[in-house]
Amino acid sequence: MAKQWGGRFEGEPDALVERLGESVSFDARLAVHDIRGSIAHATMLGAQGIISKKDARAIVRGLGDVEKDIKAGAFVWRQDLEDVHTNIEVALVERIGDAGKRLHTARSRNDQVSLDVRLWTRDQVDRIIELCRALQAVFVALAERHIDVVLPGCTHMQHAQPVLLAHHLLAYFEMFGRDRQRFIELRKRVNVMPLGSAALAGTPHPIDRKQVAKALGFDAISTNSMDAVSDRDYAIEFCSAAAIAMMHLSRLSEELILWSTPEFAFIEIGDAFATGSSIMPQKKNPDVAELVRGKTGRVYGDLTALLTILKGLPMTYNRDLQEDKEPLFDASDTLQLCLAVVMRMLPSIRFNADRMRAATRDGFLEATDVADYLAAKGMPFREAHEVTGKLVLYCIRAGKTMPELSLDELRQFSVLFAEDVIGSLAPEAIVRRRATLGGTAPSQVRAALRRAKQAL
C-alpha cells in the first residue's frame, strides 16, 4: 500500500480510504491527454531553464515510452497509486530515474487534472459535432427520397393538418443543427488552458504559459488561478448540451415507436434494429428506439450529478471534484453511441407512403383550410372558425368527410362557398398552399433542402 504524499504523514491510508479515493479505475482513459500535457509542460520547463534541457528531453522520451506501453495494453495500472497522473509519473521515474521527479515542477495535480479533462472534453466535443452533422445528413437524404409523401401533422397527438414527410424529417435536421451549434459554441469555453495555475495561486517559477497553450492547441489561457483549478462549468455545459441532444433523440425514438405500431403502421424498422419476443413469435419490437429513449434519463442523471457535486463547493479545489469524471464520461459515451446507432437505424426504415396518405382522410385535417377559405372570402376568422366547427359536427353525424360534401351541403352553412372550394381540400392542395418561408409546401421544402445541404 502506498504511503501518503510527502513527509507530513507517518502512517499509511486505511484500506477502505484507499478504495474510496482511487480514481484510476475510471480516469485511466485520460492517459493520452495527461501525457500530452506533461510533454508540453516538460518541454517548456527545459526551454525556460527551470529544469535542464537534458532532463526535459529524458522526460519527453520517457513519456513517449509510457504512452506506447499504454496503447499496446502492456501498462499495469496500480490502484494503490490512486490516479492516472501518479501511475504515469511513477512509471516515468522507474524508466528515467531522478529526472522524472522534476516533471511536476511548477504544477499541481489540481491544474494538471483540469488540463487533462479539458483536453479530453475537447476531443469529445469535436467527435459529437461531426456525429450531429452526419446525422443531419441522414435526415436530408431521407427527406429527398420522400419529398412527395403526405401524412397527418399532429398537435396534442391528434390529427391537425397535412404535412410533407420531408418537412417532418427536416424538423429533426433543425434540432440536431442546434445541438451541433451548442457543441461548437461550447468548444470555445472548453479550449481554455488552466495549466500554470498550480494548486490555486499560480507558481513562482518563470513558466511560459503561452508556449504550452500553443503546443496543446488552446485558443485562450485562464486568467484567474483560483477559478481555473475549480472551474467545471464546461463539464456541466457539456452534460447539458448532451442532455438536450438526447432529448431530441428521445423525441425521435418516441415517434418511431408509435409509427411502427399496427395502429399507425407508418414505418417498418429494419430487422437489424429490432428484436423479437422470448414467448410471442410474431413480435418485432423497436428495442433500439426504446433503449435510446431510456438512456436519455441516464444522461439527465449525469447532468444532475454534476450540478449537485458543484453546488456546495467553496474555493478552490476540493476532492469532491474527483466525482466529476464519471458522469462526464458517461454522458459523452452514451450520447455518441446513441447518435451513431440512430444514424445507422434511420436508413433501414421503410416508410409506408400509402398508409400515411390514407391517414390524412381521418380527423378533418382540411378544417383549418375551410376556415381560411371563408376568411379569404371576407368572413371574420372567428366566425369562419365557428362555421367550420359546425361543418365538422355535421360531417360526424352524417358519416362523411369534408371533401365528400357537395357544394349545396356546404352552402347550407355559408353562401360564401363557391365552385373553387371543390378540389381545394385535397391534402396535396392544402400542403401546396403552405408556401410561406418555413412552411410545408413542396417549394419551401425543396428550398429547405438546398439550405440544409449548404449548412452541411
Specify which residues 295 forms β-bridges with: none
Query: What is the Cα Rg of the chain in Å?
Result: 31
d(CA 134, CA 128): 10
Tell me whether residue 260 is one of the annotated catalytic residues.
no
For residue 209, which phi and psi values (nearest 5 degrees)?
Answer: -70, -30
Separation of CA 455 from chain center: 18
Query: Both ends of the chain: CA-CA distance in Å?
Result: 54
Other beta carbons less than 10 A from residue 398's beta carbon: 11
For residue 43, which phi and psi values (nearest 5 degrees)?
Answer: -60, -45
Q: Which amino acid is at 135?
A: L
Residue with cell 489540481: 110
Q: Which of 25, 277, 406, 443 is catalytic?
A: 277
46: nearest Cα among 89, 92, 115, 105: 105
Q: Which of 156, 205, 278, 385 is catalytic?
A: 156
- Dihedral sign computed on CA atoms, order 307, 312, 315, 319: negative
Q: How many CA atoms lie within 13 A of 143 on its CB side?
A: 28
Other beta carbons less than 10 A from residue 262's beta carbon: 5
For residue 443, which phi and psi values (nearest 5 degrees)?
Answer: -65, -40
DSSP 285-342: B-HHHHHHHHHHHHHHHHHHHHHHHHTTPPSS--GGGGGGHHHHHHHHHHHHHHHHHH
d(CA 144, CA 252): 18
d(CA 38, CA 85): 10
The one-character DSSP state at 275 is B
Tell me whether residue 240 is one of the annotated catalytic residues.
no
Catalytic residue numbers?
156, 277
